Amino acid sequence: MMRTVHLALYDTLADWEYGYAVAGINDPEFQKNPGSLAVTTVGATRDPITTRGGLRIIPDLTLDELRPHDSAMLILPGNDIWNTDAYAPFTGKAREFLDADVPVAAICGATGALASAGLLDDRTHTSNAAEFLEEVGYGGSALYRDEPAVADRGLITASGVAPVHFARAIFERLDIYEPEVLDAWFALYADRNPAGFYALMEQQQ
């Protein structure tokens, strides 16, 4: 059965933070169940958004059309609007997902928005830096971990400079790859270890 992962779109979307995750989800190569996952984009409206890199993307659906039980995960990339009212609909949808036990993955500025909304007060988490989250005045500082990516009870958080770690945590939660495949992928893209490439090629045999 096809499962859908929803990628949130908004102006100033950080292009470099979600690419590894989306490519790994949409590309069936090396997957346990090829073709069982697909990424769909969701915006506050269907109007085109403009990314930090200047790309214009049209959302496939709107937040008010998205129900948690129709999704395998909501991915919230970083952005420059996380601390404005424009981002409130996305934190509201993240809360709805978590309340329904559907996972959410947030990176960079999106973690700041979740912290402001109180969604990091009782979950182990990370972000760009402890100081970044402390500026929003949230109540979860004791649960902050200085790591590239952290997963706790359906919520993945990551630093904006750790897109590969972010993707790995997403892949683990979605159970896309066998452990040895994921280890090889991570060795290649995170550690730049050529052995990872050859290990992936062996999986094609």
Which two tokens mark 25?
Answer: 């989800």
CB contact burial 18-48 (16+ within 10 A = b; e otherwise): bebbbebbeeeebbeeeeebebebbbbeeee
Rg (CA), the chain: 16
Contact 77, 8 (CB under 8 A): yes
184 a catalytic residue: no
What is the bridge-based pairing of β-strands 37-43 and 49-50? unpaired
Choosing from 108, 110, 114, 156, the catalytic residue is 108
Phi, psi of 118, rounded to the nearest 5 degrees: 85, 5
Active site residues: 108
